[in-house]
């Protein structure tokens, strides 16, 4: 009997110790750090032959004609710490919560941002604030509530606004003037440690690494060997003058930490996107009306092309700018307004600086014959003016509804539709729908206007039939009974 009592006491003490240990771990576990995009595929050898210096070959910093100190002093006051609060973290909900009564905890992820105006506009990565319900910005130990101005998944750029005056806006440089081999420093604010600075060189430009998830991903990254570690997403890449030349976004890694290459969105692209979001609430993308691919050695041999520079036209949008100018499939675009096209990255970057309605001169080759044409760039609706896309956001539906644009209609083979995006918990997710689904018919009626569709679904009860197209282009039809 005494042995049984001893055993019961031992079991009870061990159980209580286990509960206490679990509670302690839960309370002191680190908050999630919003990391740069990490990809670990086999990396393609740079097409531009760059002689990367070893540490021994680099001149010592104190022997250089410049110092990183001035660049650091100029840029670090403009880099902020960002906290993203995004609902409950189900992964931390366990049996111990029943004992201690804490319940599911709010998920917090973090990153960095850069102040671009004295009145509080801040640029960061879209993935830093993705799914945020509340955003806070910490600058010089002061915490500000932040308002989301807009996001662009195509470039992984987002803009925030805090209510403050006389903030230290960073000095802007030019990514187009940045040269391969030039020294740069990466400035971040990970873990709210004020600021951290790392140095490296520009290893390559116009780099495409296929990580962005937008409808029209624009990848023309600056590649650098300046270490960009977790928490530095959205931070500043600056030149030795302390001028902002890029927004740090991704790392090449097999471990989750920096192991050799970092990638930044060129600031000329990031600022065009930011200015559009601030002024119009929508990026004013200029569309030439073509799909293009890189020229590979295999394609060059097959098409008898003498150079790997340029891009090959694979599709011409019906009634688009290129179609009206006479471009055809298999044409090889070599220059835009006199600027050489070295690949898809440079093609997309050059176009990103223009607005709908701008006229550009395109030089191309057709069957080894040089030609040129004047194109009037169009917007996503096929016109030439500024657009503000129609959308309807609903907490009840748990989604943002927006009208599909001309390019999407051409790709999906539909005349109209309302697309689902930005999904969270809500009615549409319960129906089994997801981001990218396009509704074309609701109970036999055309789905054209996002607000009309959204309000109809919010108030509907009874038999519901939805028709549309999946993100992969497959038609679907589903029926539901809504009470």
> What residues are labeled active site?
127, 156, 233
- 405 near 317, Cβ under 8 Å? no
Give dist(CA 123, CA 133) in Å, integer.
18
Using CA atoms, how far residue 406 sits from 214, 215, 276, in Å, is: 16, 12, 20
- Output the DSSP codes for 33-62: P-PPEEE-SPPPPPSS---PPPTTTSPPGG
Residue 348 — φ and ψ, nearest 5°? Answer: -70, -35
Report the SS3 class of residue 10.
Answer: helix
Using CA atoms, how far residue 278 sits from 105, 106, 149, 242, 285, in Å, is: 33, 30, 7, 24, 15
Three-class secondary structure assignment of 394-448: ECCCCEEEEECCHHHHHHHCCCCCEEEECCCCCHHHHCCCCCCCEEEEECCEECC
Selection from 26, 282, 336 nearest residue 154 by Cα: 282
Selection from 166, 169, 165 nearest residue 77 by Cα: 169
């Amino acid at each position: 009997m005494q042995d049984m009592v001893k055993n019961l006491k031992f079991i009870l003490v061990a159980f209580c110790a286990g509960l206490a240990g679990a509670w302690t771990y839960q309370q002191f576990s680190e908050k999630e750090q919003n990391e740069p995009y990490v990809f670990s595929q086999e990396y393609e050898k740079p097409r531009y032959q760059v002689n990367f210096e070893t540490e021994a070959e680099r001149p010592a910093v104190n022997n250089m004609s410049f110092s990183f100190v001035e660049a650091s002093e100029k840029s670090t006051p403009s880099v902020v710490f960002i906290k993203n609060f995004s609902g409950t973290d189900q992964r931390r909900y366990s049996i111990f919560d029943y004992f201690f009564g804490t319940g599911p905890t709010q998920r917090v992820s973090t990153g960095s941002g850069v102040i671009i105006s004295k009145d509080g506009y801040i640029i960061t990565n879209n993935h830093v604030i993705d799914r945020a319900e509340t955003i806070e910005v910490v600058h010089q130990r002061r915490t500000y509530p932040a308002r989301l101005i807009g996001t662009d998944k195509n470039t992984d750029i987002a803009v925030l606004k805090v209510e403050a005056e006389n903030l230290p806006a960073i000095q802007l440089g030019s990514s187009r003037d940045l040269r391969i081999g030039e020294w740069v420093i990466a400035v971040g604010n990970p873990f709210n440690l004020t600021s951290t600075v790392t140095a490296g060189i520009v290893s390559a430009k116009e780099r495409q690494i296929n990580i962005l998830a937008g409808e029209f991903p624009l990848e023309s990254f600056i590649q650098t060997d300046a270490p960009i570690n977790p928490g530095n997403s959205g931070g500043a890449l600056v030149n030795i003058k302390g001028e902002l030349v890029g927004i740090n976004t991704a790392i090449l890694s097999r471990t989750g930490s920096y192991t050799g290459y970092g990638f930044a969105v060129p600031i000329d692209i990031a600022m065009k996107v930011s200015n559009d979001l601030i002024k119009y609430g929508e990026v004013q993308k200029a569309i030439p009306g073509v799909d293009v691919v890189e020229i590979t050695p295999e394609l060059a041999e097959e098409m008898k092309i003498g150079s790997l520079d340029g891009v090959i036209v694979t599709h011409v949008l019906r009634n688009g700018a290129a179609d009206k100018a006479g471009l055809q499939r298999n044409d090889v675009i070599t220059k835009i307004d006199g600027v050489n096209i070295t690949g898809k990255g440079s093609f997309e970057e050059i176009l990103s600086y223009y607005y709908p309605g701008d006229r550009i001169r395109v030089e191309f080759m057709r069957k080894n014959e040089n030609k040129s044409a004047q194109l009037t760039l169009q917007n996503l609706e096929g016109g030439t003016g500024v657009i503000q896309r129609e959308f309807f956001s609903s907490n009840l539906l748990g989604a943002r509804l927006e009208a599909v644009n001309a390019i999407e209609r051409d790709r999906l083979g539909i005349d109209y539709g309302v697309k689902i995006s930005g999904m969270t918990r809500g009615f549409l997710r319960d129906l089994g729908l997801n981001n990218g689904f396009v509704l074309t018919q609701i109970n036999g009626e055309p789905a054209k206007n996002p607000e009309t569709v959204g309000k109809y679904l919010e108030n509907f009860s009874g038999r519901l039939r939805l028709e549309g197209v999946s993100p992969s282009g497959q038609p679907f039809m589903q029926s539901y009974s809504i009470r």
